[in-house]
Structure 1
Amino acid sequence: PENDHLIIEAGTPLIKKFGLGVISEIRKLRPNAFIIADMKILDTGNLEARMAADATADAVVVSGLAPASTMEKAIAEARKVGIYSIVDMLNVQNPAKVIASLKVKPDIVELHRAIDTEETAHAWGDIAAIKKAAGGKLLVATAGGVRVNVVKDALKAGADILVVGRAITASKDIGHAADEFLEQLDRDEIDQFRIMTDF
């Protein structure tokens, strides 16, 4: 469906298989969509963030397991080229501590439960502590095994973005599955815009 609440993420396996060119292909199909390049950057943060921007991504993902300097370079470069930065906290024990230690803060922190560990209970972590550690405006996304029945709990815990994968992509009716999630949000559409800071 066409809805400003929908964000399209090019996942890490998709990018590994087809390269960053897949972002441009998605852009051709959905020119006005907000597209995330989930690159899980671990090194060369500034280079890879710029590569994502060059591929027309609106946001790029850096791993919270990367060295602080790599995260900071990716975040700074994303800001410079006018895209959003996301730090993925997959397998990070204390996300708030990582965020507090960064000299440059990301736009979004993603609390990510790995597909290989999805049988364990949902644990979004202390979202309030993560937002406080950022010292300013920060969005928090939850990912990994997000289903319609946990949407309200994730929002109540303070999540701003819900990353939904197989609950939509593996559905027999993708449009209907997406609509079910949108109904659970119970929020008005918003205007999206791209921030350009590279003047």
Structure 2
Amino acid sequence: MAKLQVAIDLLSTEAALELAAKVAPYVDIIELGTPLIKQEGLKVVTAMKAAHPDKLVFADMKTADTGALEAEMAFNAGADLVTVMGTVDDATIKGAVAAANKLGKKVVVDTIGVKNRVQRAKEVSAMGVAFVELHAGLDEQALPGYSIQTLINEGIEAGVPFSIAGGVNANSIKDVLAAGAEVAVAGGAIYSAADPAKAAEALKAAFN
């Protein structure tokens, strides 16, 4: 069954834990954003896993080199999943996957900056990653004419396990799920809402 992932793009451990406590009943995966990890270090991963041991904790490392080392660091801190950039050398992805297999964890490839997301999704899936995150970053989403439908279409075309990140909200989530996404990643739709718990609950309702 598809999972709902909340992307926590806040900048303190305390704020991240506060938000997670509100939305945990409705999400399956708690993602700690790259700026949060850069600000707080891997201690935020450890704190989140301790607070929510029943949830998958996703460390958005966006690793670009030393795949095995950075993956192992995050896994040892409590992460269940880590990201490696799809633009990197295959050796970096394979190294992270090897570390994941050793520790019983999983690697996700992030496609920010990848020119041909469909082709790269097929390539990295063959390397043993859990799924490919078809991801339009905040900068890309701000460009004129951006549409999440592009990511949805790419997921269908790629035919590999994928998640969608880049504008998942109450209006788009049903299309994301209908396309066969393994994971729907919601960030601002939850953390920027007046009532994050209610927003997460509404998104989760789409899964039923």
Are 1:99 and 1:105, in contact at CA under 8 Å, matched by a contact in 2? no
> What CA distance in whole angstroms lies between the structure 1 residues aligned with 2:121 and 2:63?
16
Would you say the 8 A contact 1:64–1:98 is kept in 2? yes
Shift of 1:18: 0.4
1:84 and 1:45 mapped to 2: Cα distance? 13
Aligned residue in 2 for 1:136: none
CA distance in 2, matches of 1:178, 1:59: 21
Which residue identity is paired with 2:52?
R
Measured after TM superposition, the shift of residue 128 of structure 1 is 3.5
Q: CA shift at 1:2, angstroms?
A: 4.6
Alignment pair present for 1:34 and 2:60:
no
Tell me: higher relative CO, structure 1 or 2? Use CA pairs within 8 A at least 6 residues apart. 2
2:118 is aligned to: 96
Letter in 1 for 2:129: P
The yes-or-no answer on 1:65 pairing with 2:81 is no
1:126 aligned counterpart, secondary structure: helix
C-alpha RMSD over aligned residues? 1.7
What count of residue pairs does the alignment treat as equivalent? 180
Query: Which consecutive residues of structure 1, in runs of 5 or more, have no partner in the other structure?
Result: 133-138, 187-199
Query: Which structure 2 residue ranges, 5 or more long, are not aligned?
Result: 1-22
Task: For residues 120-151 of structure 1, give each alpha carbon's deviation from its aligned partner in whole angstroms, at most 9, with x where no partner exists.
Answer: 1121142244235xxxxxx3110012111101
Give the number of the structure whose residues are more often helix, by fraction.
2
Give the structure-1-normalised TM-score: 0.84
TM-score (norm 2): 0.80
SS in 2 for 1:66: coil
Deviation by residue 1:20-79 (Cα, 9 ceiling, x = unmatched):
110111122212111000001100000011001101101010000111111111122112
Identity of aligned residues (%): 36
Stretch moving more, 36-45 or 102-111: 102-111
